[in-house]
Chains A and B, each alone.
Chain A
């Protein structure tokens, strides 16, 4: 199903949760709404689910206006951060719930639940209580429950938020495979860049109730459209550079795009002093002070380059940015 959101706004009292959001999600796409807490991403998801009604604007499912349609009429599957499983029901009954309340025949329910439990790899757990399962297993039950009534849209609200790093990693890869098999249009809300970049076809970066940028992960990361997106997506160094209009502007440089050398490499090189060295596995994080920048700089070197340079704390070096991002009218 194609999802379209046109100029949607939502306020809670005086708090503006969504200011003016427009977004189009194609059939079979997996789009991530990425942003810090309070940016409106969960509100947008709830507007899509029908749990909140937009104050202004329209929500279209396959071109049909569903702005004021109740949740049950929208055929969406929703997965919550804290699973929201029905604790008094078995895993089987949890998955069967959507079919039961819609009056499906018992044989169909049995077949469908078995199929889904296989798909989420919990075949042997039909009679278990949710409280007997681990976090990752519970979230897979929640996913099976959401998929049971064959929704046209799958909405995931921080589905990995309550899981530890390793389970999170595995579940991400598994979710992507599941999506490739089912092709259900999916919206994934997350504040975690890795969630969004690893799983989504496109990422919509949200800030203060609006979408700042939307595009494939690589494009959003390599060509951020605003300084805010640049800062949100990772560490940045801020340098003063000559702007297009001649006046000074702020140039943003990612730590891995800041070269460190013993001699001035080019005209953009400038002197700096190593203040701290933090080995972090396959790469080394080097903190530097430069006379010509107000803030300390951070460079990330791969291990080989770091060994070549044999850097020590207090060394005087030259740094030169390989790629500088500048933005018009940076805030």
Chain B
């Protein structure tokens, strides 16, 4: 589920290959090859592993499958995963909107630098991101020691998990919002300000509605990554069963305990969340694209024939 873009590209390639016009009949062989490669790749990389997850999960029968999902440790992991997403996604929405508003609507020194800084989490390995937090605020660091002395545990507790997850996912919302804000320009905001709107009124009534689909799209991606993050969380969590395990960590631990069908049962929960994410992504992504193309195809069918009178 980490590579929906790759899957999408392959699917599009497959569709493009089948939709080749009649004139390309002579290229039938080439088409068959491209189609086979594309579908074969999707099959090997996506379909087979997903099917394997369910096959393994159901190996011990349906009752065992559901039993594995309601084990106390698994439920605790599910709660922690949902809590992490519930904390991280709103944080990233606020940050993403603030960053998008500054970068998309204003010109200032260091804008390029700020844009690059925002993209750092994409470039850094998640394990390194987690390690940075352990080093910076872990029990052996000055800050972590001070926090510990005041009874605050960050690393090896859920605040650390939330922080590491926030770091890994924080570019998702910002990047989508920045793109949409830059594309819409500043004219509408200027129109609102000249009409007498305050800064807040302009943001709430004009800017926010204009970026709402881009924002939602970013939220869907951010949420998916927040629930599925393994590397960074693995470093900061400490793997305390029933306390600091998220769903991906729980899968690993069950697997290490040789409880294969239980591990795959929990993994199937993540597969379901991935399917939901892809569905949301497709729906919202369709809206984003339709809004970016003007005139909107959503309205084109409904619109009466425009009368061209001044």
Residues of chain A whose beta carbon lies under 8 Å from any beta carbon of chain B: 49-51, 70-72, 76-78, 80, 82, 84-88, 97-98, 101-102, 121, 129, 131-134, 136-137, 140, 145-146, 148-149, 167, 170-171, 174
Shortest Cβ distance from residue B256 to the other chain A in the assembled complex, whole angstroms: 51
Q: Contact at B309–A121, with CB atoms within 8 Å?
A: yes
A43 to chain B, nearest CB (A): 14
Instruction: For residue B137, give the distance in angstroms from its CB to the closest CB of chain A.
Output: 42
Looking at B21-29, B186-194, B262-270, the stretch in contact with chain A turns out to be B186-194
Tell me if B110 counts as interface (CB < 8 A to partner A).
no
Partner of B196, one of A87, A134, A149, A174: A149
| Given A131-B303, A132-B299, residue A170 in contact with residue B206 (CB < 8 A) | no
Q: In the complex, A148→B306 CA distance in Å?
A: 24
| Interchain CB contact (< 8 A) of B306 among A49, A137, A145 | A137
The answer to whether A86 touches B307, judged by C-beta atoms less than 8 angstroms apart, is no
CB atoms of B197 and A72 under 8 A apart? yes
Chain A neighbourhood of B63, CB < 8 A: none
Bound state CA distance, A215 and B201, in angstroms? 41
Tell whether, in the assembled complex, residue B194 and residue A51 are in contact, meaning their CB atoms are under 8 Å apart.
yes
Taking a contact as CB atoms under 8 Å apart, the answer to whether B303 and A132 are in contact is yes
A82, A88, A171: the one within 8 Å of B310 (CB): A171
Is B299's CB under 8 angstroms from A86's CB?
no
> Can you list 19 residue pairs at the A/B interface with Cβ under 8 Å?
A51-B194, A71-B193, A72-B198, A78-B190, A80-B191, A82-B187, A84-B190, A87-B210, A97-B205, A101-B205, A131-B296, A131-B299, A132-B306, A136-B308, A137-B309, A140-B310, A148-B195, A149-B195, A149-B196
Instruction: Number of B interface residues at 8 Å Cβ cutoff, please give it.
Output: 28
Determine which residue in B196, B210, B306 has the highest number of CB atoms from chain A within 10 A of its CB, and name it: B196
Given A87-B210, A88-B210, does the pair A136, B193 have CB atoms closer than 8 Å? Answer: no
Which residues of A are found within 8 Å of B198, using beta-carbon distances? 72, 101
B162-203 CB contacts (< 8 Å) to partner A: 187-188, 190-198, 201
In contact, B299 and A129 (Cβ under 8 angstroms): yes
What chain A residues lie within 8 Å of B296 (beta carbons)?
87, 131
Contact assessment for B193 and A137 in the assembled complex, using a CB-CB cutoff below 8 Å: no
Q: Given A84-B187, A85-B188, A101-B197, output 20 extra A-B contacts at Cβ < 8 Å.
A: A72-B196, A72-B198, A78-B190, A78-B194, A84-B190, A86-B188, A86-B205, A86-B209, A97-B192, A97-B195, A98-B196, A101-B192, A101-B196, A101-B205, A131-B303, A134-B307, A145-B191, A149-B195, A149-B196, A167-B310
